[in-house]
Structure 1
Amino acid sequence: MEFQIDSPEKLGLLIRASRKAMSLRQDDAAGSIGVSENFLGKVERGGETVQWGKLFLVMRELGLNLSVEVPDEFSSLTERHLQSLLDKSVRDKAAAPGEDA
């Protein structure tokens, strides 16, 4: 099922509803995901200053996927630009000295 997300609050409520549908307590979910209960609570309240990486970790661990709909008239050009940016990101990471790939 697809839900329209237009705010951090709505995403947080969806995450909370999904966790509850899985019969997971907030503390148990946070522990199994590897984040603090405080962080998960902040996500579920739609906190606007959460860390992106941890937010996506929570979503992945709850089996939630996020997609963005691009208007049809821009989709082909957006796809080309995105691929170029992704390629550049991979090249930059490969060229960065002393960092793990």
Structure 2
Amino acid sequence: MQTQITNIRTLGALIKEARKSQTLTQEDLAGITLTGRRFIVDLENGKETAEIGKVLQVLNALGIALTASATWKD
């Protein structure tokens, strides 16, 4: 499944959906990714200042691949 991410809220919703589908709590995911529960809550709610390194840790832990497409090169 591919989802076009155009803003942090969409990414947060995808992360929340993936976490729930894997029956993980926010606390579980925070422990797996060595982040805090507050970070997971903020990320799922679309906090725009989320640290990219931590976001990548969360995506990797959930098995979400992040790719970029340079549309200006078409």
Normalised TM-score (structure 2): 0.91
Corresponding position of 1:13:
13
Structure 1, gaps ≥5 residues long: 76-101
Distance 2:52 2:70 in 1: 21
Does structure 1 residue 27 correspond to structure 2 residue 6? no
Corresponding position of 1:74:
73
Corresponding position of 2:56:
56
Distance 2:5 2:32 in 1: 25
User: Match of 2:58, as an amino acid?
Assistant: V
Distance 2:29 2:73 in 1: 39
Does structure 1 residue 39 correspond to structure 2 residue 55? no
Distance 1:38 1:44 in 2: 10
Larger CA Rg, structure 1 vs 2: 1
User: Match of 1:8, as an amino acid?
Assistant: I
Report percent identity of matched pairs: 34
User: Match of 1:47, as an amino acid?
Assistant: K
Distance 1:46 1:65 in 2: 18
Root mean square deviation, CA, Å: 1.3
Tell me how far 1:69 sits from its aligned partner.
Answer: 1.7
Q: How many residues align?
A: 74
Deviations 1:27-47 (A, max 9, x none): 111112111000011111110
Deviations 1:57-96 (A, max 9, x none): 111111111111223x726xxxxxxxxxxxxxxxxxxxxx
